[in-house]
Structure 1
């Protein structure tokens, strides 16, 4: 497929690297209102969005604009008959996501998201352990993203730290991939109680610290903690921790700190030999540019395969909606002084008992 990029900032460059490395896709064009910002992409740059989308050779668009500026280009691309892959979050509200899902259905095109942390070997075996029942009854499921962003990070662009274009802070921006992983592994959340604050930054509208208590539909309890004010020299990895009556697994970025089951299996030896944590640098903990493009590459390849197979991709819009709905519920609870907020079947938050 010929793929075009909308947005030529830092994330757009990761998308370009991923597309160049992938099977089944070619970087075809770039849209930017400032052509000089795309001079080093090595493909044609078009500054008129309508003309960019009218290109009959363009099959798919990937969107790498600020979080709150995903809706308009995604809607325009779907209306122009292009498949769409959108950087996280798919959009900053479930209402906007639902409108995009409806537009994709109407156009008959695929709308998918970048959920790149799903695409590593550790996540594959973690998910398999959950799905096969190795944990027995899951009793605890939590995630922690204790990262650091200095004031210069928020001051570097006018949209950073704003409700309109960031949609939120440590959860919606930095923590969303890990929150997606938690729901992907442990299943849907029934209710949340939360507290958020801005403790260490100035001139931003969003949280740099958030804590939420979760009750899952399965009955398990858990915690989400997200921060951009937790300094560490080497950075803390993003963690997902699941415990049950028959096992416990703690994932730190792409490797395990704990892999421990009552009933051992042959695969456990491979995991403890190959996927246990050593001295890896935390991915993106202190520097948002310190990530690799390989998981993005696998994400793109999965979407292209799904389109060719005529199926919904594993990173579909419906999947991407789940983490946004949970974060919306957390923000709603925090705004109501920690009141319990329930989530309905499709993830929309409500503030009274169902």
Structure 2
């Protein structure tokens, strides 16, 4: 069988995340970085130098996406810019006829994200995906498989904690950090959205969110450094969500799911507990068994690195004309839930996620990004 030519990738935004995606592409037989886009020329040049150091061909560099698209020769655009620019750049690439991959979050507001979703629906031949690499972690796969099979029984509750620490210097390092317009939020939108995405993958779309946010440990930022929410799901299950960048010395991430026949715990991306009633009495370590089963069921061609795994699936989706494993709708739901948290904190009352998805709160979004009370 003839090996397909690698997809020609343009990486837009050459900061930390853009560099990561470029390096992932350099290690993938499915991808070749042909263009780097960044208005800060030294940033693009540094990533280009890194790629050639890894043995990859030297990519072209551009100051804006329009110029790169005009030159052609691009199959996929990866949008790795500031969060508040994601949907607009993705839409520009989509309208140029290429496939699009957007870093998390999909955007900072529902309006631009919804317009991207509508444009993508009108172009079924083009793939639009959102990065949620932790869905490809062996631990996440094992828990999702157990939930899909009903082995945890009736899911009753979940606890999602993102207990990170960021210094004041982190927020002071760039003017856009900690702003509603470009960062889109704080501890939840920026740091906690991946864990929230896993929570939604495990439990489904929330019905209602009740939340509070605060800015307690940092100065000169508009957004929250603590967010606490209660999420109610269709079957009555309740989840608590806690995200902060004030948890010194940084305690990491922990996600627990509880049901009438079992519980699962993921800590620091590792499966630390998966105990189900149907496996009681079996010999051996259940966690090890579940991880082996999840690895065997992972998408074909999976790599150990979850970013590479997700890109493998994206490349296969482009070639096979199918949806990616993590879809645009998944990214839209994660964004809507984050926005529901901020809106609930702003308005002082519960917010229905379906109403956020449908645009019922778009006028509030234009007036305020959310509020973060200062202690």
Give the alignment's TM-score, normalised by structure 2.
0.84
Give the match's secondary structure for 2:331: helix
- Post-superposition CA distance 1:114-152 (Å, at most 9, x none): 101111111111100010001110001221101000000
Partner of 2:201: 184
Equivalence for 1:217: 234
Pick one of 237, 243, 250 that aligns with 2:265: 250
Instruction: Out of 53-62 and 341-350, give the one that drifted further.
Output: 341-350
Which secondary structure does the structure 2 equivalent of 1:133 belong to? coil
Show CA shifts across 1:94-117 (max 9, x none). Answer: 221110112223344211111011
Partner of 2:352: 342
Q: 2:17 aligned with 1:11, yes or no?
A: yes
Task: Kindly state the Cα deviation for residue 274 of structure 1 after the two structures are TM-superposed.
Answer: 8.8
Q: CA RMSD in A?
A: 2.2
Match of 1:241 among 251, 256, 264: 256
- Map Cα deviations across residues 149-189 of structure 1 (whole Å, 9 max, x no partner): 00000000000000000111111100000000000011111
Offset, 1:71: 2.3
Deviations 1:195-217 (A, max 9, x none): 00000100100000011011111
Alignment match of 2:312 (pick from 280, 301, 310): 301
Q: SS of the counterpart of 1:319?
A: helix
Q: Within 1, Cα distance between the matches of 2:355 and 2:213?
A: 25
| Residue 149 of structure 2 corresponds to residue 132 of structure 1 | yes
Give the whole-Å Cα distance in 2 for the aligned partners of 1:32 and 1:82. Answer: 19
Partner residue of 1:285? none
Output the CA distance in 2 between the equivalents of 1:349 and 1:132.
Answer: 34
How do 1:254-333 and structure 2 match up within 5 A? 254-264=269-279, 269=285, 271-272=287-288, 294-333=305-344
| Counterpart among 156, 166, 185 of residue 183 in structure 2 | 166
1:198 to 205, 212, 215: 215
Structure 1 residue runs of 5 or longer lacking an equivalent are 277-292
- Asked if structure 2 preserves the Cα contact closer than 8 Å seen for 1:255 and 1:275, the reply is no
- 1:336 and 1:188 map into 2 onto residues whose CA distance is 21
